Amino acid sequence: MHELGIVFYIIRDVKKAAEENSVSHINAVVMDIGEVSTIVPDYLLDCWRWAADREEMLKGCELKINTIPAVTFCEDCRKEYPTVEHGKICPHCGSGNTYLLRGNEVEIKQIEV
């Protein structure tokens, strides 16, 4: 379960931002998590609750997750399509000359104080 390691990195970054801005308590952290990022949101939330409550400035802090849909671009027909539904092969032209545009993100979007 790599979600626990990710939570430790999130906590490190949030604490650093809070200290730089003289904030003593964080109410919520909003994350953008891509649909194909390999992160299981429920595991991330469980790890968050366990780890955040051990940090004074994060006690009771909520982790909010925005799921970013995965979208792939086809180089041949120049169209976008939903990655999870169709995979690497373009549903418009059948080409495999494609790449992921978005949906692999793992980003702290907002820190609420």
Q: What is the pLDDT along the chain (113 residues), one digit of tens a residue?
A: 589 999 999 999 999 999 999 999 999 999 999 999 999 999 999 999 999 999 999 999 999 999 999 999 999 999 999 999 999 999 999 999 999 999 999 999 999 99
Query: Could you tell me the residue range of the domain that residue 57 belongs to?
Result: 3-112
Total of domains in the chain: 1
Q: Please state, in angstroms and rounded to a whole number, the distance separating the CA atoms of residues 45 and 3.
A: 9
Any idea what the CATH number is for the domain that residue 25 is in?
Answer: 3.30.2320.80
Q: Please state, in angstroms and rounded to a whole number, the distance separating the CA atoms of residues 2 and 62.
A: 20
Provide the whole-model pTM.
Answer: 0.87
Residue 1 CA: distances (Å) to CA of 5, 12, 42, 54: 8, 19, 12, 19
pLDDT of residue 50: 96
Q: CB neighbours (10 Å) of residue 84?
A: 12
pLDDT of residue 1: 57
pLDDT of residue 26: 98
H helix count then E strand count, the chain = 3, 6
